[in-house]
Amino acid sequence: PSTQHPGLKNKTVTEGESVTLECHISGHPQPTVTWYREDYKIESSMDFQITFKAGLARLVIREAFAEDSGRFTCTATNKAGSVSTSSKEDLVRPHFVERLKNVSVKEGSRLHMCRLTPIGDPTMVVEWLHDGKPLEAANRLRMINEFGYCSLDYGAAYSRDSGVITCRATNKYGTDHTSATLIVKDEKSLVEESQLPEGRRGMQRIEDVFKNKNPKPCPFFFFFSLSHPNYLHARRY
């Protein structure tokens, strides 16, 4: 068998992307094609799709993770012998698909900040910062980094938590970060806001409702998950 130039090409990809490696192979009788990552044989599966049709050998990696970095080899074998072509796949620095957004909450509120990040990299280090200073997990602060999600949970947010919140992900290829402004309003701020023209108009509308002798009933809405009739719908993130 023989492979047609230029054979496999080196690739640099972002973690989580789909990767396709392919090369043209000819030979008679038709050769058997085998793919390897380093010295390990790759079996066709949902994550690694292997095809060989009309002389085109193809390997599709559904999602590239850090452990997929390395040398990939395609080997074609028949009675006449075997031939191989190789390429190297490298992953680049982390990349946040979604960015943090500015948020404003009332003091004492629970707060959940969560965004998708690169996944599957055991060397990945994820840090949360407040105004540039590292945050540490505490009784009311919980940090989670698993299954491609980073989350920062506040059991109760206080005015001193206001500032710029940054999530930074770093691996051996580089770093990426996303930032947003968090504003936690104390009771005094809320009272002051209610004195603004917009706030006074809102209070006036509330007073008008209570003065109405026949106020219309306020509707209440409950949301249930149709996937299970016995439980309220709940999401982890």
Distance CA 10, CA 64 (A): 14
Instruction: Give the pLDDT confidence score for residue 75 in this predicted structure.
Output: 95
Q: Which CATH class is domain 103-186?
A: mainly beta
* Type and span of the H or E element at 111: strand 111-116
Place of tokens 């452990």: 67
Ranges in the chain annotated CATH 2.60.40.10: 2-91, 103-186
Homologous superfamily of domain range 2-91: Immunoglobulins (2.60.40.10)
Distance CA 10, CA 85 (A): 11
Burial 2-17, CB ≥16 within 10 A → b, else e: ebeeebbeebebebbe
Instruction: Give the pLDDT confidence score for residue 14 in this predicted structure.
Output: 76
Distance CA 6, CA 8 (A): 7
- Report the SS3 class of residue 91: strand
Q: Please tell me whether the peptide bond between 118 and the residue prior to it is cis, using omega within 30 degrees of 0.
A: no
pTM: 0.51
Q: What is the DSSP letter of 137?
A: -
Distance CA 228, CA 19 (A): 37
Mean pLDDT by groups of 10 residues along the chain of 237 residues? 74 84 91 94 95 94 85 94 88 77 86 65 84 88 79 87 91 85 78 51 56 47 33 33
Q: Is the CB of residue 73 less than 8 Å from the CB of residue 35?
A: yes
Instruction: Give the pLDDT confidence score for residue 119 in this predicted structure.
Output: 63
